[in-house]
Amino acid sequence: MIMNFSNPWPLFCFAFGLMLLAAYLMKKLEKEFYTQYPVKRKFTMLEMEFPNKYSDIKYLISGIYKLPQNEKATTLKAVKWQLLIDSFLYVPAVYGGIFILCMTVGNKLQLYYGKDFFYFLAYAQFLCLILDYIENILFSWLFKRWKDEKDIIPIKAGAIASQHVMSNENTNGSQKEKIKTDYPLIGLRLLEGLKWTPSMLGAICGFSAVIYFWLSGKYSTSSIPYIVSVLLMLIIFIIISLKKTKPKIYNTVDQMPVPNYDLDKYLTDKIDKIEGVQRGMIKGCVSVKFVVNEQGNITSEPAPQIIRSPGGKCDDEAIRIVKEMQTWKCGKQKGKPVKVFMEITLCFKNSKIND
């Protein structure tokens, strides 16, 4: 079925503007995405769409449920709203706009193979739309499925939360899990490929054809206001996206700080040497917030501070251990080293009794 639009540009402009609005809203919501994996850090939906291993999605999602109640609620609410905006605004606008663009170009071409090619790209957007909805439903289901997972747990007393399966990669059980998780990963990669290939091809070919028509003079002057409208919307979107205040100390950056050493082992060794822990007099988990500066050092201004604690001597020991941490690999924003807030959890218990 061929659709002939008497004037497709108003509808295309509407779809383009709706896409930019949805993209802006989702970008704002993504600033609230955090997970305790293994330390508290920011994540994006692209990490879920393109993981290195399928189990990475599992650890990322279960890490959200390891956050404090208020932070967990904020992240889950932001994820829920982003999936809704993506499903009801962004997805229809993107694929609808590409459909209109390809159909319009196909109607304008004289050669039949050219027409058929753009008509094919136009209707391929319905497949992309369906696959995008399937992906959103999949992620929504995974958030419910892995709500109560316990895979991110301290390996030993004093260790921060980390993936237990990574501690014994050479064991038969871990090897079996690795092979098992390859199949869902292949399925996810296939879904992403089928979703992105027709949409990207349609957008690139469609805009290239429009540019060709303009360069060759085969355009109508009535379309000029709509082209200008698209360019203005794009410029406004870029300006709004780039306009933001730069804090002196960042909560999240493009490249988050990471330790240059085995942090689990460091924390475990430090805590095991505490006399109060050995005697079972100091117990509980303490969350400490601190700043990693441009050189990768833990700053004294501001000093590490307790976020959550059972009280007692745990607080003093946690602060002491964090202050004595070795140099980290500094965080970077747009390639430049910056100060970044970090948070870790230390668990005090008698490891000799519990092992």
Helix intervals (H) in 111-171: 112-145
The string of pLDDT tens digits covering residues 173-197 is 444 444 454 688 899 999 999 999 9
Q: Which of 137-141, 223-227, 328-332 has the lowest mean pLDDT?
A: 223-227
Find, among 128, 143, 182, the residue nearest to 48 by Cα.
143
Pairing, β 336-348 against β 249-250 = parallel
The yes/no answer on whether domain 249-354 falls in CATH 3.10.28 is no
Say what the pLDDT of residue 39 is: 63
Rounded Cα distance, 246 and 251, in Å: 11
Provide the residue ranges of all domains of the chain, joining segments of one domain with +. Answer: 9-242, 249-354
The string of pLDDT tens digits covering residues 270-283 is 877 776 666 666 67
The DSSP secondary structure of 20-69, one letter per residue, reads: HHHHHHHHHHHTT-EEESSSEEE--HHHHHS-SSHHHHHHHHHHHTTS-H
Tell me which amino acid residue 196 is: W
**Token representation of residue 73:** 């609620």
Q: Is the pLDDT of residue 352 over 60?
A: no
The DSSP bridge partners found for residue 40 are: 36
pTM for this entry: 0.65
Q: Is the pLDDT of residue 298 over 90?
A: yes
Q: Which of 26-35, 76-85, 132-141, 301-310 has the lowest mean pLDDT?
A: 301-310
Contact call for residues 29 and 125 (beta carbons, < 8 A): no
Find, among 79, 188, 68, the residue nearest to 144 by Cα.
79
**Residue 125 burial (C-beta neighbours within 10 Å; 0-12, 13-18, 19+):** buried
CA distance to 18, 233, 234, 245, per residue, from 228 (Å): 16, 9, 10, 29
Rounded Cα distance, 82 and 131, in Å: 17
Above pLDDT 90, what percent of the chain? 38
Q: Which of 112-116, 124-128, 275-279 has the lowest mean pLDDT?
A: 275-279
Contact call for residues 160 and 223 (beta carbons, < 8 A): no
Say what the pLDDT of residue 270 is: 83
Say what the pLDDT of residue 286 is: 83
The string of pLDDT tens digits covering residues 208-257 is 998 888 888 777 777 788 888 988 999 998 888 877 655 678 888 889 99
Rounded Cα distance, 335 and 253, in Å: 10
Q: Is the pLDDT of residue 2 over 70?
A: no
Rounded Cα distance, 179 and 101, in Å: 43
The string of pLDDT tens digits covering residues 45-85 is 988 899 888 888 888 898 888 887 888 899 999 999 999 99
